[in-house]
Structure 1
Amino acid sequence: MERKRFVKSLVLVTLAPSLFIAACRNEKKAAASQNYTCPMHPQIIKDVPGSCPICGMDLVPVSSGSDKNELILMNSQIQLANITTMQIAQSNFGTSKVLNARLVTNPELSEVISSRYAGRIERLFVKETGRQVSKGQALFQIYSEELQTLQQDYLLQVKQVAAFPNEKIYVTLGEAAKSKLRLFGYSNPQIENLVRSNKISPFVTVNATASGIVNEVSVSEGQYVSEGSPIIRLENFNQLWVEADVYPGEASSIKVGTPVKVSVYGFPELEQTVEINFISPQIDPSSQILKVRGPIQSQGKLQSGMQATVLLNTAKINNAVALPLNAVIRDGKGAHVWIKTGKNTFAPKMVTTGQEDENQIVIISGLENVKEVVVSGAYLLSSEFILKKGSDAMTKHNMSKM
């Protein structure tokens, strides 16, 4: 009996140092596997205590937790982080691009009032730009000796016709003289008044031939002008042009007749769909862009010079899986999302992305057999994962297979 006790004591004495050494090794191994992170910057992970190189806070230990690449949160944590999910579904997806644009006057609707005869501008009834002018409104009065001669010739022919009503030659000459007055801007009421008063005058009042906004006044009172000299330029703002900038690489998605949505800054209620009716055949050498344009209705509010944006549809994908942009986290390792794997349980999933617009992004692969995806709070989940696990959420993923 005494011998058995002696043997047991000898075994314990012999094994004690080995157990102590193994325990120390395990303790050292556990200590070596301990990671530390910054509460404010969870991307900072070190294997020794210290301070955060960004904010200077003391690093805190993180638990490695389970080896499973999942997060389990409480209901309060989910509500506080505003974590919401959506069911995976296929839908039609269209990508678009925003083009810088501006409103310019439509020269096809511009009207230039010019002098039809040489003379002196006696009076200007419209002297400043920006004024609204109606059709038939008096614009200026001009003194012209040539016009006085035409008036005198017409009155002579009228008298000849009255004296010899059966002579066709006088009727023909009278019509010719009347046509000359019309060519020089005389209206029918002015011609009738000339005949009625039987008085010639070297002054004639020129009226607007169209309605519009005075864009330019090229003369001043007392100035002599020649035949054909421009006097006043009128712009019609009822219809304008929207002119957009397009880079050469984007030009292939635009054709004459392509519909685009136009929004003018300050007038969101006037958003319109416009068809492109012109594509510049030449690149601007200074800016390396092409100009495209289309007509836009001003509805009495829009003016030339206003800034606008043009929304150009660049692609359309049928039966696509599209997620909000905030649902996808992109870094140097690629792109991943957080999926819901159970009640209050979430896991990261590597995905391959495709086309995107200002709101959504297409997922090409990676969500097969996935039913629910986190659409808000994904970044907070990644930060929580680092704090709990001590490593990045995508560390265990094989990037080469994606």
Structure 2
Amino acid sequence: MERKSFLKTVAFVSLAPALLLAACKDAGKKEIASEKKQTYTCPMHPQIVQDKPGTCPICGMDLVPFDKTNKEAALTLGESQIALANITTMTVGTGALSNFKRLNGRLATDPEKTAVISSRVPGRIEVLYVKETGVKVNKGQPLYKIYSEQLASLQQEYLLAAAQVKQFPDDARFLDIEKAARQKLILYDQSNAQIAQLLQSQKVSPYVTYPATVSGIVSELTATEGQYVAEGGAVIRLEGYDQLWVEADVYPAEAAAIHIGQSVKVIVAGWENEPQTMNIQFINPSLQSGSQLMQLRGSIPNPNNRWQPGLQANILLPVSSKGDVLSLPVDAVIRDGKGAHVWVETGRGKFEPRMVSTGMENFDSVEITEGLEAGDKVVVTGAYLLYSEYILKKGADPMAGMQH
């Protein structure tokens, strides 16, 4: 019995190292397998993490692989990646920052650029050379021809007066009659050349063609061919769009801070990158009918008639300003439920997120009160792409665990 016990002990002692070594190898393999195990996350919801491909239970997007063992807080990108993502930076410095109040407005026709072409003689519209609205008309262009019996009688009266002067050149009374008859023709819009042609031909013509006195766009036709019009009756309305009014609504309490001559910015819808400078020319002292709003007005140039009356416009009123503050473009700051952060370039091609606190803000810039110092290089375009790249590679929100 003692011999059997001895042999068992010897066998156990000799096998123990082999068993221990095998166990260690198995543990090592499991640890290596665990380390090499691929994980997946949702680009939009980094809290979703699993060890196999699939879709996000929140948004349904396909999960993407990421390396959960990489705990570095920064991203390193190559030059080609930076160029492809259009990542640009700026060095933060101090300067003045102004805040604005946005007023809703619209573009309108300037009445000073509006002209009404009216008939200088009573008669029948024989021909309309412009028959539709929206047509551009140049100064001097024929607009309509009118038949006027009264004009014919005035021409005949002038021919008789001119014949009397020719027969009795020294008679002052006949000279006065001829001048009066000539003046009537001039008042009926007959030019000196037309009067001279009348004397030469000795033929009465009851037709007169009216040209455009200004250039503009036909906005209204108030007469048609064959229609009789009275002396002074409107025929065509022309509007000039080379200068437009800008009208904006303002509450009476806000109007107290506005004065005539004040310089403001105007942003026309669709041309946000081309703000216009305007001086306030008029503030209506009474409220608009059916509302509690007042109206202010100014004018802006309209080169090449690129804007039309009725377009929406916004007026930016300066309401406050600060000097010597750190500020960034609005797009450089990324915000979510955990706060705001920016991306700082700490080395060539190396970017890391940094939590910041913001202050006063306008439509272009935002004040940075904490988190940055003058001289820091901050990403101003492509920040959201860096944010997405961080989530893809790290599988976590860059704001997670950050505190001021």
* Band of TM-score, shorter chain: 0.5 to 0.7
2:270 is the alignment partner of 1:240: no
2:124 is the alignment partner of 1:120: yes
1:149 shift after superposition: 2.5
Q: Are the equivalent residues in 2 in contact too, given 1:101–1:244 (CA < 8 A)?
A: yes
CA distance, structure 2, for counterparts of residue 136 and residue 80 of structure 1: 61
- Which of 201, 210, 217 matches 2:214? 210
2:278 is the alignment partner of 1:275: yes
Relative to structure 1, the CA distance from residue 188 to residue 290 in structure 2 (aligned partners, 3 Å threshold; closer, same or farther) is same
Q: Are the equivalent residues in 2 in contact too, given 1:385–1:393 (CA < 8 A)?
A: no
1:321 shift after superposition: 0.6
State the AA in 1 paired with 2:327: A
- Which of 229, 232, 248 matches 1:228? 232
CA deviation profile, 1:16-72 (whole Å, cap 9, x unmatched): xxxxxxxxxxxxxxxxxxxxx994334579xxxxxx973699xxxx99x9xxxxx64
1:140 shift after superposition: 2.2
SS of equivalent to 1:127: coil
Aligned to 1:34: none
Q: Are the equivalent residues in 2 in contact too, given 1:339–1:370 (CA < 8 A)?
A: no
Gap regions ≥5 residues in structure 1: 1-36, 46-51, 66-70, 398-402
SS of equivalent to 2:231: coil
CA deviation profile, 1:69-102 (whole Å, cap 9, x unmatched): xx64474799989898765422344556777665
Structure 2 counterparts to residues 90-101 of structure 1, below 5 A:
90-94=94-98
Aligned CA-pair RMSD: 4.9
Aligned to 1:302: 306
Aligned to 2:10: none
Aligned to 2:361: 355
Relative to structure 1, the CA distance from residue 226 to residue 327 in structure 2 (aligned partners, 3 Å threshold; closer, same or farther) is closer
CA distance, structure 2, for counterparts of residue 379 and residue 212 of structure 1: 53
Q: Are the equivalent residues in 2 in contact too, given 1:89–1:321 (CA < 8 A)?
A: yes
2:114 is the alignment partner of 1:106: no
Q: Are the equivalent residues in 1 in contact too, given 2:159–2:199 (CA < 8 A)?
A: yes
CA distance, structure 1, for counterparts of residue 372 and residue 153 of structure 2: 90
Relative to structure 1, the CA distance from residue 371 to residue 121 in structure 2 (aligned partners, 3 Å threshold; closer, same or farther) is closer
How many corresponding residue pairs?
Answer: 346
Q: Are the equivalent residues in 1 in contact too, given 2:342–2:378 (CA < 8 A)?
A: yes
Q: Percent identity?
A: 36
SS of equivalent to 1:363: strand
Aligned to 1:256: 261
Aligned to 1:194: 198
Gap regions ≥5 residues in structure 2: 1-38, 50-55
Structure 2 counterparts to residues 1-400 of structure 1, below 5 A:
39-40=41-42, 41-42=45-46, 54=58, 72-73=73-74, 75=76, 87-94=91-98, 103-237=107-241, 239-243=242-246, 245-248=248-251, 252=257, 255-256=260-261, 258=263, 260=265, 265=270, 271=274, 273-276=276-279, 278-281=281-284, 282-283=287-288, 285=290, 288=293, 290=295, 292-299=297-304, 301-302=305-306, 304-305=308-309, 307=311, 309=313, 312=316, 314=318, 317-331=322-336, 334-335=339-340, 348-358=354-364, 360-367=365-372, 371=376, 376=383, 379=387, 392-394=400-402
Aligned to 1:20: none
CA distance, structure 1, for counterparts of residue 59 and residue 210 of structure 2: 78
CA distance, structure 2, for counterparts of residue 278 and residue 317 of structure 1: 27
Q: Are the equivalent residues in 2 in contact too, given 1:91–1:318 (CA < 8 A)?
A: yes
CA deviation profile, 1:162-204 (whole Å, cap 9, x unmatched): 2332233322222222111111221221111122222223333
Q: Are the equivalent residues in 2 in contact too, given 1:265–1:307 (CA < 8 A)?
A: no
CA distance, structure 1, for counterparts of residue 117 and residue 398 of structure 2: 79
Relative to structure 1, the CA distance from residue 181 to residue 295 in structure 2 (aligned partners, 3 Å threshold; closer, same or farther) is farther
Stretch moving more, 91-100 or 73-82:
73-82
1:233 shift after superposition: 2.1
